[in-house]
Structure 1
Amino acid sequence: MMRLPHARLALAIQASLLLSFSGLAGAQDAPATADQATTLDTVTVTGTRIKKAELESQVPVQVLTREDIDRSGFTSVADIVQNLTASGAALNTKFNSSGNFGFPPDGGGVGAGAATVDLRHLGSKRVLVLVDGVRWVNESSASGVGSSVDLNTIPLSIIERIEVLEDGASSIYGSDAIAGVVNIITRRSIDGVKLDFNYGDYDDLAGGESYGADLGWGGTTDRVQWFLGASYYKQKQIASSEYGPASEPVPGTGLSNGSSATPQGRFVFQDPNTGQVYSITPDTGVADPTYTSGQPDCPTTRTDDYHCFGTPDRFNFAPYNLLSTPSERKSVFGQVRFDFTPTFSGHAKLLYNQRESANQAAPEPIFLGTDAGVYNDYAEKTLVISALNPYNPFGFDLTTIGPDANLFLLGRRPVEGGPRRYQQEVKTWYASAGLEGSFDVATRPWNWDVNVAFSRSRAEQTNTGSYNIRRINEALGDPAACAAIAGCVPLNLFGGEGTITPEMLSFIQPVVRDQSENKLSLFTANLTGDLFEMWAGPLSFAAGYEYRKYEGSYTPDPITIAGEYNGVPSGATSGDYDVNEVYVEFNVPLMRDGWFGKSLDLSVAERYSDYSTFGGESTGKIGLRWQVADELLLRGSFAQGFRAPSIGELYGTLARFDATLTDPCNNAASTTPACVTEGVPAGYEQSNPQISVVTSGNANLQPETSRSLMLGSVWSPSFASGTSWSDRLDIGVTFYRHTIDNAIQARDAQTILERCIFTRDPESCGFYDRNPVSGQIVRFDDILDNLGTIKTDGWDFNVGWSLPERDWGRLRFDWKNTWVGHYELVNESGQAEPRRPGLELNNSAIPEWTSTLVTDWTRGPWTVAWTVRHIDALTESCAGANGFDICDDSANDINHLPATTYNDLQVSWQSTAWMKGLRISAGVNNIAGKDPPICLSCTLNGYDASTYDLPGRFWYARLGLDF
């Protein structure tokens, strides 16, 4: 990482400490309202700690006002920020992220029911989320220790505005602010009581109905401001079966990508008497019981009650999933501010938020055998299905033990036990208090503040529909041994659907309970003011100290820890660390009203962070703001950044992730030289589209480091200001570039497979093993590490145009665009990974161009808003769909996702003639009812839920009353 000279660093630290202990304060809260007649009135801008009104345009901050929020029609913070043109793929309620999604290598769990924000496609972990300038606690999902903020813990009703800094800011705010900062400013007060109701539903989908209510009460006196709020919101689920493309594992490919764990069962074994290997399934329920696969393990048509397993026998798991997950949120929030004197005040805030959500997956598959690849000894190494088991039809033991192992794969999906259902309850507490004040130093104003905050997010998850693999093992063994175990009855996995009885289920089907927790404790002290006058104005500064402590834990159910859980295995995680930081920031006026323009300002910042986990790290930032004329502003900055590894990334234990992968040696490719070298037999067929991958945290991780460059301009031409055709015109252009070194990530599993087979890269080939007989992948390790470099750059182009008010009303246009020019992920070997602009990959995409145009017409009490959201065209791999018409370029393994444009319309009316105010609004999002482009490489529901809306129209209505 590029460092500032040591002498400058030492000077910055010494100055910061000196100033901190002389007053300790800063700029962490929302700007004071105009009617506060105190000397505390200063302007705070996200992206700088210095309180100066003229610094408002120092950095590229996008402000979403309360009006913008209401006009969007969205009911959560996540929906709003995820629709920014600079946003990337992030979790939301359209992700049914449970079941075989398993545990990502960052140790954060699947984030079930959470919603996050990503900027510049660099990941949600690289975006810092603040509330009133103070860090928010990371999410808790009951399946890991997360490292991103769950925006569902922040109710929309308490928000005054959202400020989004799309620039690196680690020197200002510390770790995580690599891609930018989202600062949520809460309401300080309202006048009286506000009551709001909302209701919405989808036209073409059964389910998805949402409704909620918000209650707020506040007021202001000469010395006190207060706001109390309560919110309730509920969203109902939508089943995947409601949307055609979501009803197949891969849309348009039938059962070819279905699961081999079926309600009838699939059995791959070797007859110890003849040495013949079979792959068979019961005839029950199959239209063609004479199906012959043509594989070596099924050489002839059978005449008994079984036939050779083939594609028509595979199981379609897709309709059991959810297109939209249910969520219910309840919250209460309060804050009070008291002015002790005109120069000294205090504040306190409290929040409690509770979320109840659910995810659903198809009935849990049971995979047994040496090729199961589920990393469970009960399934793969110590199983004996006794010949004495009354349901074993083959007359000999099926075993996975030692050299006599003859059970390669048994796949059975007990639909009798119902789908897997994961229900979460997440409780978030937040409490903070602070003091702030101002004083003069030689007639120059200085401001200070100190803040303390404690927050905790705790989640509990209840999982039904899963199985205990140890008990399955016992119920398949010797009936005499089973009889000696309380509740054990012999288990029938061979008789087909409907043959697993309630008594069998009661022994093998537990209720699995997991929990996780994240805690954040912090103390901040800041001081800002003008040091002395220079030739072009005062030299302004900010300095301060911050202490943070992070604590996190994940405690899976005891049967999971014991290795008895049939689902995704994992271990317990627990850890903590703390950090002490000092910073200093200067704004140096270089010129005022000179030959070169109106003003020229230089900003310099430095921050030093001392972590208990890896030691010290410093980051610097330098920026230049040139007001060439009243109508033209040029600005630029260069910033260093870093992101410290999170608790989950450091201490997460071994777990499994079931990745959807295409084995390059599948089917005809099995005869290629590389596959033959790996011992893949001719005619090899990948058992399942999902391959289990072992993941883990890494205690030796080091921080990511970054470099960010921003160059921009804002032009407000005078010829378009105060004229008959234009009240104001603003045109903004920004170029950004981010480079991240030592990126904390896991290698892309699909790329590992392809690199091994196609280039024979020895490192890639060392990540997995195959069964020497069948060729199936039985081990795949992909542990978290500091790997490679991420580089991205692009352009933002924004236009805001307001027309003068006429008899017919007032018209405004706001057009925002983002072009991603370059995105490159270079792995540890110096090779580029496949992710790039214009490509759909791993359930997320980087569109080259995204655009939002808002047209707003107001006349009297009426407002009409029309929003156009555009997403550029994408391409993707056909994901194993070669030969199917659904892939439009099978020869080149390319499928095209066309450009998509959504139109949203809202009509509002408000009046103060009744009570203090009445507000009514109604709208339709996706008014044309467009379906998202079909995605063949996406894991669930046939489309990319992080990029596109749910299919069909969503309409809503809102009613607001002021008392």
Structure 2
Amino acid sequence: MKQKTLLATAIAAALVLQTWSVAAQDAAPAQADQGSAKSLETVTVTGSRIRSVDVETSQPVFTMDRAAIQATGLTNVNDIIARMPSAGTPDITPQDTLSSGTDVGGRYVNIRNLGSNRTLVLVNGRRWSTSLSGLTDLSTIPVSMIERIDVLKDGASSIYGSDAIGGVVNIITKEKFDGAEANVYFGQNGQGDGTTTNYDFTWGHSTEKNSLIIGASYQNTDPMWNRERDITSYANGPRHPNDGWSGTGPYGRVIDPNTNQQYVINHGATNTADLSNYHLYDGSSNADKYNTQQDMTFRAGSKLKNIFLQDKYKLTDNITLHGMASYSTRDTSSQLAGYPLSTGGTGVAISGDNAYNPFPGQDVAFYRRTTELPRITWSNSKLAHIDVGAEGYFQFLDHDWSWDANYTYSQNKIRQIGSGNLNLVNLANALGPTETVNGQVVCANAAARAAGCVPWNILAGPGSASQQVLNYVNYIETNRQTSSTDDYTANVSGGLFDLPAGTVNLAVGIEHRGEKGNFRPDANVSAGLTTDLAAAPTSGAYNTNEAYAELDVPLLRDLPGAQEFGINIASRYSHYSNFGSTTNNKYSFRYRPFEDLLVRGTFAHGFRAPSLDNLYGGEAQSFETFLDPCDSVYGAAASNPAVAKSCAAAGVPAGYRQVNSTSGKPITNSNGSQTPVAFISASNPNLQPEQSITRTLGLVFSPHQVEGLDFTVDYYNIYVKNIITAVDAQDTLNYCYIQNDPSFCKSFTRAATANPVTGVAAGSVDSLTETLYNLGTLKTEGYDVGIHYRLPETSFGRFRIASDSTYLSKYELVSGPGAVAKTPVGFMDGEDGLYRLRSNLQVDWDYKQFGASWTIRYYSGLKDQCYSNDPTDLVECSSPNYTNPWWGTYGMSQKGSVAFNDAQFRYTAPWKGVFTVGVNNIFNKKGPFYYSVTSTGTGSSPYNPAFDIDRYWYVSYNQKF
């Protein structure tokens, strides 16, 4: 309470002093008119708090105006930004069907492949709402209200504080609007699914003193299904449709308690108590397996609703009041195949006294996928955002000064409902002892029977269970998350004094921000009473007090060899209640040797504060795949005597073999196996902020001989240390045995004896806790190149050409001490395609009431895993002798480059109506199928999520009133 009072006093003082600054800087708009040959057009953009900094400053900013946004034919902000060559795959995408958590369903942005939580999102220069995990959902920002999007591809923590490591996305909304505007949009994939409809309406009225804008939008996007396309219908792609099927199929499989032989019920048989109705399970055939892809969504469906209000009122000639309010709701739904139910995964066996047990008198372990109950997740997110403040101007020291004071509040509430997981208590009752009453098999437990228990013949095939049984075992869970932000800011900016080269400008400001939130998982899920992964509640809060100063000094002007030279210095002090203080500085220069050329560069410190989820997240379960270093054939113990000795000292039996959790037999390759029991992931309240250093050097060339031509090239180098890293099972074991760090050996235990129920073998890891640490480092560097040319107007129209490219020369990730540096530039690395080159080329044409554009989006080729890791049977392998040090696999397959072509045609009618028709991926190009994309990352077959999955066509109509 005292801190808020202090901030209120500071803001009042700022008002009295009449001090103000605008979060603005200037840069050349991309894919828009670029101004004259000698000087780029000046527009207000992101990156500096000093209003007078010219367009060609020391910071690389990419700008998309409204026309460029509409030319994409896209209706979501994240999809629009993802088209930028410097954008990577977001941490969560609509294709992440297998991902869990309340962030699933949102739309995010990732600049420089540094992660979505290292990209700061602003609206009108002020922070937008973030979730407990530090992600900003861009679907809550309606495209209809956007005037332009500025993307600062540079570190900016000295100006904006935390998260501005990879870059800053600043979404600028419409400021003035008179009249009304309505838009109708319809789009659909060539396969006939993924239909998107969008409706929005904007009304505005401006007077001499007031400017009011009201908008509303609605968007509905239908889901896309894996089964609809060959490239997503099979886990290992259309060339291998019979591979990658789940061993847990829809027909019951039991383990003979006497011989450990596995039997599967004959398909169509219903008398599961007679062993003669079974056959031996053959793991080499798909007859008893299941293709889970046919039940899964490739992309989740969603509904977005938003209302938006913005008002600016000129109180006096020097003071303006402003306010903005936005309320949005997002509903999404996704589906997974039914749960792979087994005794090992649940601890529930078929009772020896159950009428459907083929081994009477003996409890029986079983496997059965519940295809009758697909796992469906519905998520509803509600975001309320309010921004109010005042701004003004005054004269001080014979110079113009400006001030602003703002208060921003946002609250995000998420409710997530899941269906298709099973109630373990009811499951145990349904598979427990039975008895016969009036010729009917019923649950023997009278109390359970009174509560609705119905015996479940789990071993019978799909369709055999009654709806009464399914209703009894199915569990409907509800999780809730709330996060909120209170943000107070006050800024002042203006000229101090004049030098021969120009005015020395200063900006200073203060900010107080409070973040709090909580996650309340379903009580029964949290207690481990369902088949869903258990999670503990999360609750936490922190606040920060910050102050910054920025100084811009023009040193030289209009001299031979120095038409302009200036420097910009910024520093921000931040004090967090949870970890303490950090100061981040930024140094920039701009140098124009002659009128047509500008050279610019920056050196910036940055940071990312730990999110609430990083600090206070409750424990959660997860099933991890890892290679045990103590495995005597494929693990490090096989070739490293020191590791073998450490394993023996830990009680691991001699000749120990890690067991495949599905087959129950020793692993057959270095890929390891998934644990049969859930491990625990946990947060860390002692985390420190990530720290970064960003260097950029670039030039802007606008030859006066060629009017309308601008050429830019910028080099960037970013180093991030103390990366908040989730030390997974593999790294935990490696640090313990290979790096010989005893602190990690305390994070897991090994089973003294075998447990046939859970499938844990003697000596194997039976519990492990994964914790967050400040361990990793990341280095990346590359070049951005832009060429924009506005051709002279001709008798057949006006042409504009825009080319923007990013060349990635380095990307090096080290997960922790002693870990092998991961340098996957030019590789498909899990979910992320780290392309050496990404490029967009657009040609735009306007003639009277007609307009058209053609865009080519290019992705360079990537190296991929070979389909087979067996060196004696390499499939789809261009380099069979290649060994990847971080994949740990043998062989490499080079996948080719791909280019997508988009076309759009526009017609403006005499009654102010605009008809638009367009096709994205007009040639229906299919990208390569990547085997190294993890299914857990994409929620579907390993198809690159950056690529278009299909041809997409759309039509829209805009009417102004």
TM-score > 0.5, shorter chain as reference: yes
**Match of 2:803?**
815
Where does structure 2 lack aligned partners over 5 or more consecutive residues?
1-9, 27-41, 435-442, 645-653, 755-759, 882-889
Within the candidate set 353, 358, 361, 2:336 is matched to: 361
Structure 1 position 346 matched with structure 2 position 318: no
Structure 1 position 277 matched with structure 2 position 257: no
Alignment of 1:32-47 (within 5 A): 44-47=44-47
* C-alpha contact (below 8 Å) 2:627/2:673 kept by paired residues: no
The CA distance in 2 between the partners of 1:845 and 1:823, in whole Å, is 12
Within the candidate set 886, 899, 918, 1:923 is matched to: 918
Alignment of 1:671-710 (within 5 A): 673=638, 677-680=655-658, 683-685=665-667, 692-710=678-696
2:955 partner SS: strand
2:771 partner SS: coil
TM-fit CA distance, 1:24: 4.6
Q: Measured at CA, do residues 828 and 334 of structure 1 come closer, stay the same or move farther in structure 2, by a change above 3 Å?
A: same
**Match of 2:710?**
730
**Counterpart code for 2:958:** G
Within the candidate set 474, 479, 502, 1:509 is matched to: 474
Q: Measured at CA, do residues 627 and 65 of structure 1 come closer, stay the same or move farther in structure 2, by a change above 3 Å?
A: same
**Counterpart code for 1:279:** Q
* C-alpha contact (below 8 Å) 1:93/1:325 kept by paired residues: no
TM-fit CA distance, 1:477: 3.1
Q: Measured at CA, do residues 219 and 29 of structure 1 come closer, stay the same or move farther in structure 2, by a change above 3 Å?
A: farther
Within the candidate set 548, 572, 593, 2:558 is matched to: 593
The CA distance in 2 between the partners of 1:734 and 1:218, in whole Å, is 40
* C-alpha contact (below 8 Å) 1:487/1:507 kept by paired residues: yes
TM-fit CA distance, 1:835: 5.2
The CA distance in 1 between the partners of 2:712 and 2:25, in whole Å, is 25
* C-alpha contact (below 8 Å) 2:397/2:495 kept by paired residues: no
Within the candidate set 221, 225, 229, 2:207 is matched to: 221
Within the candidate set 292, 298, 310, 1:317 is matched to: 292
The CA distance in 2 between the partners of 1:451 and 1:476, in whole Å, is 61
**Match of 2:75?**
75
Q: Measured at CA, do residues 762 and 884 of structure 1 come closer, stay the same or move farther in structure 2, by a change above 3 Å?
A: farther
TM-fit CA distance, 1:395: 2.6
TM-fit CA distance, 1:783: 1.9
The CA distance in 1 between the partners of 2:929 and 2:675, in whole Å, is 20
Q: Quick check: 676-685 or 256-265, which moved more?
A: 676-685
Alignment of 1:88-103 (within 5 A): 88-90=88-90, 94-98=94-98, 101-102=99-100
TM-fit CA distance, 1:56: 5.2
**Counterpart code for 1:70:** Q
**Match of 1:195?**
182
Within the candidate set 825, 828, 845, 1:857 is matched to: 845
Alignment of 1:868-887 (within 5 A): 868-878=856-866, 882=870, 883=873, 885=875
**Counterpart code for 1:168:** G
Within the candidate set 420, 444, 450, 2:405 is matched to: 450
Within the candidate set 815, 822, 841, 1:834 is matched to: 822
1:78 partner SS: helix
- Tell me the alpha carbon deviations over residues 793-842 of structure 1, each in whole angstroms, 9 at most, x when there is no partner: 11111111121111121111110110111111112223234352111122
1:559 partner SS: helix
- Tell me the alpha carbon deviations over residues 553-575 of structure 1, each in whole angstroms, 9 at most, x when there is no partner: 11111211221121122111111
**Match of 2:20?**
25
Q: Quick check: 803-812 or 15-24, which moved more?
A: 15-24
* C-alpha contact (below 8 Å) 2:920/2:953 kept by paired residues: yes
2:614 partner SS: helix
**Counterpart code for 1:680:** Q
* C-alpha contact (below 8 Å) 2:588/2:602 kept by paired residues: yes
Normalised TM-score (structure 1): 0.86
1:227 partner SS: strand
The CA distance in 1 between the partners of 2:262 and 2:805, in whole Å, is 55
2:45 partner SS: coil
The CA distance in 1 between the partners of 2:667 and 2:914, in whole Å, is 62
Within the candidate set 377, 393, 412, 2:368 is matched to: 412
Q: Measured at CA, do residues 869 and 689 of structure 1 come closer, stay the same or move farther in structure 2, by a change above 3 Å?
A: farther
Within the candidate set 734, 753, 776, 1:788 is matched to: 776
1:398 partner SS: coil
Q: Quick check: 775-784 or 834-843, which moved more?
A: 775-784
The CA distance in 2 between the partners of 1:947 and 1:478, in whole Å, is 52
**Match of 1:742?**
722
- Tell me the alpha carbon deviations over residues 686-711 of structure 1, each in whole angstroms, 9 at most, x when there is no partner: 89768755322111111001111011
Q: Measured at CA, do residues 43 and 908 of structure 1 come closer, stay the same or move farther in structure 2, by a change above 3 Å?
A: closer
Q: Measured at CA, do residues 29 and 889 of structure 1 come closer, stay the same or move farther in structure 2, by a change above 3 Å?
A: closer
Structure 1 position 306 matched with structure 2 position 279: yes
* C-alpha contact (below 8 Å) 1:30/1:185 kept by paired residues: no
- Tell me the alpha carbon deviations over residues 96-116 of structure 1, each in whole angstroms, 9 at most, x when there is no partner: 434xx34xxxxxx36221110
* C-alpha contact (below 8 Å) 1:454/1:521 kept by paired residues: yes
Alignment of 1:57-72 (within 5 A): 57-72=57-72
Q: Quick check: 763-772 or 935-944, which moved more?
A: 763-772
Q: Measured at CA, do residues 671 and 796 of structure 1 come closer, stay the same or move farther in structure 2, by a change above 3 Å?
A: closer
**Match of 1:329?**
304
Normalised TM-score (structure 2): 0.86
The CA distance in 2 between the partners of 1:363 and 1:848, in whole Å, is 39
**Match of 1:631?**
596
**Match of 2:103?**
111
**Match of 2:898?**
900
Q: Quick check: 534-543 or 706-715, which moved more?
A: 534-543
The CA distance in 2 between the partners of 1:304 and 1:919, in whole Å, is 68
2:529 partner SS: coil
**Match of 2:218?**
232
TM-fit CA distance, 1:386: 2.5
**Counterpart code for 2:945:** S
TM-fit CA distance, 1:884: 7.0
**Match of 1:545?**
510
**Match of 1:724?**
none
Structure 1 position 135 matched with structure 2 position 135: no
* C-alpha contact (below 8 Å) 1:16/1:582 kept by paired residues: no
**Counterpart code for 1:439:** F
* C-alpha contact (below 8 Å) 2:915/2:958 kept by paired residues: yes
The CA distance in 2 between the partners of 1:876 and 1:764, in whole Å, is 32
* C-alpha contact (below 8 Å) 2:97/2:300 kept by paired residues: no
The CA distance in 2 between the partners of 1:703 and 1:166, in whole Å, is 21
Q: Quick check: 895-904 or 520-529, which moved more?
A: 895-904
The CA distance in 2 between the partners of 1:73 and 1:609, in whole Å, is 41
Structure 1 position 484 matched with structure 2 position 484: no
The CA distance in 2 between the partners of 1:533 and 1:30, in whole Å, is 20
**Match of 1:257?**
244
The CA distance in 1 between the partners of 2:250 and 2:712, in whole Å, is 59
Structure 1 position 440 matched with structure 2 position 420: no
* C-alpha contact (below 8 Å) 2:923/2:951 kept by paired residues: yes
- Tell me the alpha carbon deviations over residues 92-135 of structure 1, each in whole angstroms, 9 at most, x when there is no partner: 6641434xx34xxxxxx362211100011000000000000010
**Counterpart code for 2:904:** Q
The CA distance in 2 between the partners of 1:713 and 1:928, in whole Å, is 36
**Counterpart code for 2:368:** R
**Counterpart code for 1:532:** F
TM-fit CA distance, 1:864: 1.3
The count of corresponding residues between Structure 1 and Structure 2 is: 877
The CA distance in 2 between the partners of 1:910 and 1:91, in whole Å, is 39
Structure 1 position 616 matched with structure 2 position 581: yes
TM-fit CA distance, 1:23: 4.3
* C-alpha contact (below 8 Å) 2:397/2:496 kept by paired residues: no
Where does structure 1 lack aligned partners over 5 or more consecutive residues?
1-14, 32-41, 103-108, 140-144, 290-301, 373-378, 400-406, 722-727
Within the candidate set 448, 460, 478, 2:415 is matched to: 460
2:583 partner SS: strand
* C-alpha contact (below 8 Å) 1:96/1:359 kept by paired residues: no
Percent identity over the alignment is: 32
Alignment of 1:633-648 (within 5 A): 633-648=598-613
